[in-house]
Structure formats: structure tokens, C-alpha cells
Structure 1
Amino acid sequence: MINLNGRRGPRNLHPEKVTLVDWKQTVRRIWGYLDTDRRKLLIVFGLTLFTTLATIVGNRVNGIVVDQFITKGRLRELFIVSGLLAGMYFLSSIFTYFQTSITTKVAQRTSAAIRHDLFAKMQRLPMRYFDTHDNGDIMSRLTNDVDNINTALMQTFVQLYTGIISVVGMGIAMLLLSPLLTGIVVLASVATFFYSRTAARITQKAFTIQQQELGSLNTQIEENVSGKQLVQLFDHQQDTIDRFNETNARYTAAAYRAQLFSGVIGPFNNMTNNFAYLLITFAGAVAILRGGTSITVGVIFTFLIYLRNFTGPINNILNLINTLQLSLASAERVFQVVDAEPEKDAPNAVELDHTAGNVKFDHVSFAYDGKTEVLHDISFTAHQGEVVAIVGPTGAGKKPL
């Protein structure tokens, strides 16, 4: 029996540094996986464009109905226009279904490709990588992090894509309808934009720390489940519980900070939107009472609906910031493994086709990084036919032997 007790290798001594997500580079990497689905994404773009135009036209027609049909009692024209709008909205709903269906399929295919590349890269990584990285953290990247990317592609992508088109379309429609009232909306939107951008910078690091702590938690769970018999054998249950509680507390605190920072964006945005509704109603009412403008009750009615469809997507996008930040942090962690350098063979290395006989270690030392020795001056001989047990704590150098 070879006892390595007391020797501790580099495992867990140098955890990966938490850095802000390079979101532009990460988005480009994910976009590269979507290369084969560009045509499907163009179809989604066309469907989204139609549904947005249908909403704009429908809302404007509603305003015309208020001014021209309801107030003047033109019921026949009112029924005809209502029927046309119902048909247009029904067709828009069908297009929305296909839009979601296509996006879901693209998201699943992309996630499968990322998961495949990550798993394939893990098969080529050297033993050093797995001895210096926690197993639970690696498993977390392959499962939780890839699932976060899939959620972002499947749910966030549709809302983000639709939201941008809706914001642009509704903004143009509002500007054509009333430049004065549009100015109020622009002021509220500018305030929301700068506030959200500042908050997003803070949440990036918070979500990165959250995912790292989740990896540490998964590592501890994996190690304790696989070594449950040893824990009970040496009566270390309470020590294991204490260590788990400490790790669990760190993850809980990190998750709370991440959600807290991202949670302040929505309420602020709702407040600015409500003020915009109030100011538009007040300014429109004053313009009607004074006269001399093209603003009517139907215009205000239409503009308020436009504003709802303008701020609604913005609210959705801002509420999705936590999901986006989480998915970007997860993608960064996944690509860290994908980009890890595989170990190269030494020059003129000898290839062993067949081995037989004794195995002898004569004053052998070994270090993964060339500095910190995992094995120091190890000497022993394993004779042919013998069974040798190598005993030692995690990171003591059993795997290199």
C-alpha cells in the first residue's frame, strides 16, 4: 500500500477568477452556432414584422373608429371594420404560434450543439484539468449552464426579437401621430435606458459569482453523495453538514445579491411609464380643450395604446435582464472549458505498444504547473501480478501515479 496521506495537491487551491462577462464576444460565439439556422431566423423576422404591423394598423383603426364611427353612429361601417380587425388579429395569432415554434426548435438544436462541443472537449482535456477543477463544477457547466443558454434562446430570444421590432415600429407610429406626445415618451425612455445600463453592469458580476458558487455547491454534493459510505464510516456526518451549510450560505447570498440588483430595474421602469401615461393624458386633454391642433379623443386613445405596446416590450426586455445576464455568465463558463488548451505530448515521446513486467518509480517528482509539486521524491516498485493500493486525500497525487 502506498500512503500519500498528508500530501495535498493543487486541487481547489486556485479557483477560477471571477471576471465580468465579455458579453459581445460571448454573443458572437452563440451567434456562430446559429449560422445554419439563419434562414429560419429570417422567417421569424418576417412573422414578427407582420404581427407588429398588424398591431400598429389595428390600434390606429381603433382610434379612427372612436372619432368617425362611434361618435357619429355609423354602426354598419363599425361592424365591417371590427370583422376585418378580428380576421387580422386571428392571422397574427397563427403567425405568433409558428414564430414561437421555429424559435424553440432553433434553441434546442443550438443547445444540443453547444452541449456536444463541451462534452467532446472534455474527452480531450488532460487529467491535470480534472484534478485542478471540481467535478461538480464541471457537471454544472454541462447541465445547468447549458440549460440557462437554452432558456435564453428559447424564451428570451423571442421576446427580445419581438420587443425590438415593436419598439421601433411603435416609435415611428407615435412620431407620425403626434410629435408633441412622442417627446414625452422619449424623455421617459432615455431615463429608463441610462438607469438600466448602469444596473446591468452591476448584475453582470453578480450573476457570474452566483454561477461559480452554484458550481462549488454541486461539487460538494457530488463528492459527498459518491463518498457517502466513507463519510459514515469515519463518522464525519456533522463536519460534512457544517461544510455544506457554509457553501449553501455562500450560494444563497450570491443568488440573493444577483436577484436583488436585477430586481430594481422593473419597478423603476414601471414608475417612469406611469408618469408618461399621466403626462400624455394631461397634455392631450389640454390640447383638445384649447383647440387648434390635430389631437382628438381618438388620437389620444390610439396614442395610449401605442404607448402601452411601446413600453410593454421595453418592460419585458428589462425584466429579462436577469435571465440574459445569467445566460451570458453561463455561456462564458461553458466557453472557458471549450477554449481550454489540450495537453500536448512531449517531443520525441516513446509510444508503448505493449507493456509487461515490473513498474518502478525511482525518486519521482511531479508538478502539474511545473512549480507546485504534487508528488515529491516518490520511490516504489510494483511487481508483475501484484495489486497495489494508492491511498491519500483528494489532490494528493493519486491520479498522476
Structure 2
Amino acid sequence: MTTTANRPAGPRPQGGPMGRGMPGMAMPVSKAKSFGPSARRLVARLRPERVPFAAVVALGVISVAFTVAGPKLLGQATDVIFDGVLGHLRGIPGAGIDFGRLGTVLTWVLAFYVASSVFGWLQGRLLNLVVQRVVFGLRADVEAKLHRLPLRYFDGQPRGELLSRVTNDIDNISSTLQQTLSQLMTSLLTVIGVIVMMLTISPLLSLIALAVVPASVFITGFIGKRAQKLFIAQWRNTGALNAHIEEAFTGHQLVKVFGRQRESEAEFRRRNDELFDAARGAQFVSGLIMPAMMFLSNLSYVVVAVVGGLRITSGALTLGEVQAFIQYSRQFTQPLTQIASMANLMQSGVASAERVFEVLDAEEQEPGPAESAEIADPRGRVEFSGVSFSYSPDQPLIEDLSLVAEPGHTVAIVGPTGAGKTTLVNLIMRFYELNSGRITLDGVDITQLRREDLRSRIGMVLQDTWLFGGTIRDNIAYGRPEATEEEIVAAAKATFVDRFVRTLPDGYDTVIDDEGTNVSAGEKQLLTIARAFLAQPALLILDEATSSVDTRTEALVQHAMAALRSSRTSFVIAHRLSTIRDADLILVMESGRIVEQGTHAELLDAHGAYHRLYSSQFAAAE
């Protein structure tokens, strides 16, 4: 059964009020990627959806085509009315408004706008499907990536920051794609269609209207570059704030016990202020684009109206054509304004995408062998041969360590905090890779085994218990999902879980939450031991597994563990030396090295490091 390892030995990172902060928690990204590469990479994820996306584009073209044809038809209707009224005023016999022709033109206008709306609705539905598939794939890739990342990566990431990347940032990408793709596509197609229609009416007025394009591009680029940095800071500060909140709520009781509420609140206010300043700056700077574009749009509108009036008086254009052109000029500048107003959304979405891509680009754990070895007859013999390991190159931890754990033997590992005890069992689980040397299980190098096969042969019970939201039965069966009801109950009885479960109203169907708040710390520990018992592993690792149980229960669990360890190799990490007196081999570690090894009696007679540890615990009592 695989579980999360304890924090590595060695220097501990410092952090918030609980001391659980991680390196880089409040540090900014060393260098933000530019907008272009991240945006192109995000758009590239649309490639698997190119067929439905092509249909989205086709529907958009049809919808926009009907839309841009409307003003020209309305211009013809205006000419019909104007010519009829003008002829009537001049006294031309039979002159007047041709209501038949006017009705036909208006009917076509209505049909065009209805068709445009229908095709636009179809485009929106299909685009929504495309976007959700892309985001679904992105979430799946991130989830798969997290399972391929080494434990070292998670040791260096605050949980709240990582959760913010895989939840908030992906949600922001989803909303950005949903809101911008449709509008951006419609706006670009509208600009193209309107330019074509304006050129068919008046090339001179078209030049005047197009004069705003270079200015629009310059303003958008100038402001957008400054907004991008602020949006990156906004989402970075969001992750840092989430990390602090997660830390503070997880250790809420500890904060209360040590009276650190004010410090925790001050830290929250500081991070919240940083997020407020970054978000306010990002929204303010990106919000400057819209007013600037509206100013250019209104300026263009005034010039077109004046020049168009002069062209009417000279007879170069009709009133209906100028009216249609003014509508087109509005339709032309409106998409540009919309594109500019979407800049803040796009900047925010790309900033989030950049943070998600950093997770996807993180260095993965070494892949398993192409042809994995198999252990035909698992017995549990473990051998360390010249093993060296360190968490950082400049701080050696374990150097040239060699030892053998025979099948059925119990190997106890003792030593001061930071000596490398937990690191030793983490190396057996391949949570970390060796710097040099090798570890074999039943004569097979563990690097030649698939990680899943290796860990399926190991049962691990940690000092920090982990339960998930579900029934007690489900939590025990997590060690072996295919176990029968009888096997689950047998494991519970062997580890003395059954005796307290029977006192609960719902028995094994009692639902516990992921924090296990409705059972005691000792009962949680017993549940994790029952889970390992049910897994029936060939190799057992107990990392202070009985630290949360009372003395009487500990004695009972020791008897249960004795039965569990029968014919299995067991590694027991212990601080209470009374629990490992009967171990077949006791390893005493200091600074990553085994300084002594032997039985309890042999080590006491040696009057060395073990004797000092034992005396420090029992001398006062004696």
C-alpha cells in the first residue's frame, strides 16, 4: 500500500505560524514568460479539436456575413424612403414611397438578422463544447503529471499554491477561453466583413475609418505589456494567499494553542494587501484600453459623418449609402474596442496558463524500466549496498551505507531527529532516487521493478495518519480493495479496531471525514495499522506507528504487529526505545550514517550511542 512519505530529514524550511512553510512560498517567479509563447501554447491545445473548431469558424463566417449585409440593405430602405419623399416634395406625378419595395427590403433585413442569430447560437454551443473538452484535457494532463512528479517536487511546493494552480488557474483559463474565443473570432470576422462592405461603398471614407487601426494596435500593445506583468503578480499572490490560508486552517488548533492568531491575521492581511494591490493595478492598467479605444472610435465617427455629408451634397454618395457607411464605421470600431477590452481577460488567462504550464514542465521522476523484473517468490530480503543520498548536493546525508535485512527479521532504526531514519525507508519505497549504490529486494534491484509492483509489496504505517472521507470499512479496505467483509473484520480484530467500531452506532458503516475529526488520534492510528494488516505485504515499514495510542493499546498492537511481522521483513522507526527491545537488529543512525548495530543487549553493553539514547529516556525513571 502506498502512502505519502514524511517530510525528508535534513534542514527544515521555515514558514508561517506552524513552521510548515515551504521554500519559495512568497517568492516571485524568477522570470515570467512573454505573452506570445504562452498564448501560442494555449492555442495549440485546440489542435485535437480542429474539426469542430473549423465548424465553429464556418458558423461564425455565416453569422457575420448575414450581420454585415444588414446595414447595406437598410441603406437601400433609406433610399427608397428618401427618394419617395423627395419626389413627392418636387411634385413629380405618381411619386411617393414605394411601400411594396420597402416591405421587401425590410423583410430581407429581418431574415438576415434572424439567420445571423441562429448561426451565432449554433456557433456558441459548439464552441462551448470545444472549450470544455480542451479544459477537460488540460485538467487530465495536470492530474496525470502530478502522479509522475517526484516527492521532491511536492516538498518544495506549498500545498495551497499548488492547489491554486490546478483549480483557480485552470478555472480562469476556462472562463478566458469561453469568453474570448467566441468574441475574438466574431470581432475579427466582423472587421474583415465590414472592411469589404465599406470599400464597396466609398474607398475614401474607408481610408478615414481604417486610420484608427494603427493607433488601436499601438495603444493595445503599449498598455497590454504593462498589464501582463501585473496579472502575473496577481495570480502569484493569489497562490501565496491560498497557501497561507490552507496552512492556517490546517493548523488552526495549533495557532490557538500558541496564541499566534494576531501573527496569522497579520500575515493574512499582508498577503491580502499584496493581492489587492496587484489586482487593482492589473485591472486599472488593462481598463485604460477601453476608454482610449472609445475615444478613437468617436473621433473616427465624427470625421466620417462630416466627410460623408459633403459627399452627399456633391452627389458622389446617396443618403442611404452614407447611413450604411456610418453604421459600418460603428461596426468596424466596435469590434476593435471589444478586442481591446478583452485584453485584460486574455492577459489574465495567459498568466494563469503560464503557471499551469510550469507544473506541466516540471521535471518528472525517472521512468520505470522498459522491461521490468519480477519477484517470483517474495520473501522480503532487503539489502543496501554502498548507498549514498542527499536532498541537496552541498549537504550530504547518507554516505556509503550498507546493511542486510533478512526475511522475517525486524530491523529497528533509532537516532536523533534529522539523522536520516525516515529517509532510509523513503529510499526503499523509491520516493527518492539514490545518488549512488543500490537497494535490492529479494535479490532484484528495486530500480528494475515498476514502482507500482515495488510499493504493492510494501505496507507502510506513518506517524502522521491519513484517512479519507468515507466509511470505516472503506478506509480499512483501501489497503486491498478486493478484500471480503470477513477479511476486513479479521484485520480489524487483529489490530483491535473492532472493539471501538462495535461501540459506534453505525459500526463499520460509520462515515468519517478526511480529517478524521469524529475519531480519536489513537483510533485513527489503529485504522491505518488495520489497513496495512489487510494489505498483507511482504515488507512492512512502521514509522512511529504506535505514537498516538495509549500504553495498554500499544501493548496490544505490539502483539498484533508480532503476528503481522511473521515471515515478513519489518523496518521500525522508533523514538521510544521500549518498543523495539525485541528487534532482531537495531540500527543507530547519526548524520545519515549507521554508527552502531546489534541487538538491544549488545548495544547496551557497548556503552555507545544507543546506550546514551537509552539512558536519556530511562535513567531518570530508574
Which band: TM-score by shorter chain?
Answer: 0.7 to 0.9
The residue aligned with 2:457 is none
* 2:295 corresponding residue in structure 1: 271
CA contact (8 A) 2:81 2:98 kept: yes
Structure 1 equivalent of residue 12 of structure 2:
8
The alpha-carbon distance between structure 1 residues 208 and 20, as it changes in their structure 2 partners (threshold 3 A), is same
> What's the counterpart of residue 36 of structure 1?
48
Instruction: Select the residue among 303, 309, 329 that pairs with 2:325.
Output: 303
Question: 1:399 is matched with which residue?
Answer: none
Shift of 1:351: 10
Counterpart position of 1:68: 80
2:196 paired with 1:172: yes
Match for residue 394 of structure 2? Answer: 371
1:12 partner amino acid: P
Measured after TM superposition, the shift of residue 346 of structure 1 is 11
1:114–1:175 CA distance, 2 compared to 1 (3 A)? same
Deviations 1:183-233 (A, max 9, x none): 221222221211111111111111111111110011011111111111112
Q: How does 1:140-155 map to 2 (within 5 A)?
A: 140-155=164-179
Distance 1:3 1:186 in 2: 62
Aligned to 1:339: 361
Contact preservation (8 Å) 2:35, 2:228: no
Structure 1 position 115 matched with structure 2 position 128: no
SS in 1 for 2:390: strand
SS of the residue 2:419 aligns to: strand
Which of 256, 260, 264 does residue 280 from structure 2 map onto?
A: 256
What is the one-letter code of the residue matched to 2:328?
A: Y
Alpha-carbon distance in 2 for matches of 1:111, 1:128: 27
Give the equivalent residue in structure 1 for 2:149.
125
Letter paired with 2:321: V
Match of 2:88 in 1: none
Counterpart CA distance in 2 for 1:3 and 1:341 is 20
2:107 equivalent in structure 1: 83
* Worse-matched range after superposition: 376-385 or 152-161: 376-385
Superposition deviation, residue 312 in structure 1 = 1.3
Per-residue Cα deviation, 1:60-109 (whole angstroms, up to 9, x for no partner)? 11111111344311111111111122122112111111100000011111
- How far off is 1:148 after superposition? 1.3
1:190-209 equivalences in 2 (<5 Å): 190-209=214-233
Task: Summarize the Cα distance change of 1:310–1:345 in structure 2 as closer, same or farther, 3 Å threshold.
Answer: closer
Change beyond 3 A, Cα 1:159–1:231: same
Task: Give me the identity figure in percent.
Answer: 30
Q: 1:243 aligns with which of 267, 270, 273?
A: 267
The answer on whether the counterparts of 1:365 and 1:377 sit within 8 Å (CA) in structure 2 is no
When normalised by structure 1's length, the TM-score is 0.86
**Partner amino acid, structure 2, of 1:310:** F
Aligned residue identity for 2:233: I
Aligned letter for 2:125?
A: S
Contact 1:166 1:310 in 2 (8 A): yes
1:50 aligned residue (51, 62, 67): 62
CA distance in 2, matches of 1:88, 1:64: 14
What is the CA-CA distance between 1:23 and the residue it aligns to?
Answer: 3.2
Q: List runs of 5+ in structure 1 lacking aligned partners.
A: 391-401
The answer on 1:281 being equivalent to 2:289 is: no
The counterpart of 2:254, out of the listed 227, 230, 235, is 230
8 Å CA contact 2:297–2:334 kept in 1: the answer is no
* Residues 40-59 of structure 1: CA deviation (Å, up to 9, x unaligned): 11111111111211122211
Q: Distance in 1 between matches of 2:395 and 2:164?
A: 27
For residues 287-321 of structure 1, the C-alpha deviation after alignment (integer angstroms, 9 at most, x for no partner) is 323x1x42222122101110111111111111110
Q: CA separation of 1:147/1:74 partners in 2, compared to 1, >3 Å: closer, same or farther? A: same
Partner-residue secondary structure (3-state), 1:378:
coil
Q: Report the count of equivalent residues.
A: 382
- Residue 365 of structure 1: CA displacement? 7.5
Q: Does structure 1 residue 318 correspond to structure 2 residue 340?
A: yes
Q: State how far apart, in whole Å, the 2-side matches of 1:183 and 1:335 are.
A: 43
TM-score (norm 2): 0.57
Amino acid at match of 2:13: G
RMSD: 3.2
Greater shift after overlay, 239-248 or 28-37?
28-37
2:60/2:120 contact within 8 Å kept: yes
Cα-to-partner distance string for 1:119-177 (whole Å, 9 max, x where unaligned): 11111111111111111111011111111111122121000011111111111211221
Counterpart contact for 2:150–2:364, Cα < 8 Å: yes
**1:157 matched residue in structure 2:** 181
Q: Deviations over 1:237-280 (max 9, x none)?
A: 11100111111111111111111110100000001111111111
Kept in 2, the 8 Å contact 1:23–1:328? The answer is yes
Tell me if the contact between 1:365 and 1:374 (Cα under 8 Å) persists in the aligned partners.
yes
Could you list the per-position Cα deviations for residues 352-384 of structure 1 after superposition, in whole angstroms to 9, with x for gaps in the alignment? 976589x99xxx9832x4236799972669896
Once residues 57 and 421 of structure 2 are traced to their aligned partners in structure 1, the CA distance between those partners, rounded to angstroms, is: 68
User: Quick one: structure 1 residues 284 and 346, their matched pair in 2 at CA, closer, same or farther if it must change by over 3 Å?
Assistant: closer
More helix by share: 1
Question: 1:24: which partner in 2?
Answer: 36
